């Protein structure tokens, strides 16, 4: 009968079968443990995730309000400039009228 390192082929096949079962068991334990740990972390951080979502929505709303206020302020500035031009035109007309008198 043929042997390798003093073991028969049947013994070597049995040893390889046991080693493969052990490795697959360890692999399953690691994957299962990782899933359980991931689920625990997700459940534990769920309130924090909700707060981040609310904070993001609040920041978006503030940004929209800021843009609206900036647009409104620009419109107001343009209107004030228009009034300033009108006042200057009226001042010039008044000066001309006073000079004619």
Per cent of the chain over pLDDT 70 is: 98
Alpha helices in the chain (DSSP H): 9-100
| pLDDT tens column, 45-70 | 999 999 999 999 999 999 999 999 99
Give the C-alpha separation, 87 to 46, whole Å.
61
pTM above 0.75, yes or no: no
CA 59 to chain centre: 12
Q: Decide if 46 contacts 39 (C-beta within 8 A).
A: no
Q: Decide if 7 contacts 16 (C-beta within 8 A).
A: no
């Amino acid at each position: 009968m043929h042997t390798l390192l003093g073991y028969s082929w049947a013994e070597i096949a049995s040893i390889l079968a046991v080693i493969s079962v052990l490795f697959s068991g360890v692999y399953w334990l690691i994957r299962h443990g990782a899933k359980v740990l991931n689920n625990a972390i997700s459940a534990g951080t769920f309130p924090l995730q909700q707060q981040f979502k609310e904070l993001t929505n609040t920041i978006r709303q503030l940004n929209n309000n800021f843009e609206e206020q900036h647009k409104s302020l620009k419109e107001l500035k343009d209107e004030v400039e228009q009034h300033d031009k009108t006042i200057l035109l009226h001042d010039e007309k008044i000066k001309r009228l006073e000079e004619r008198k």
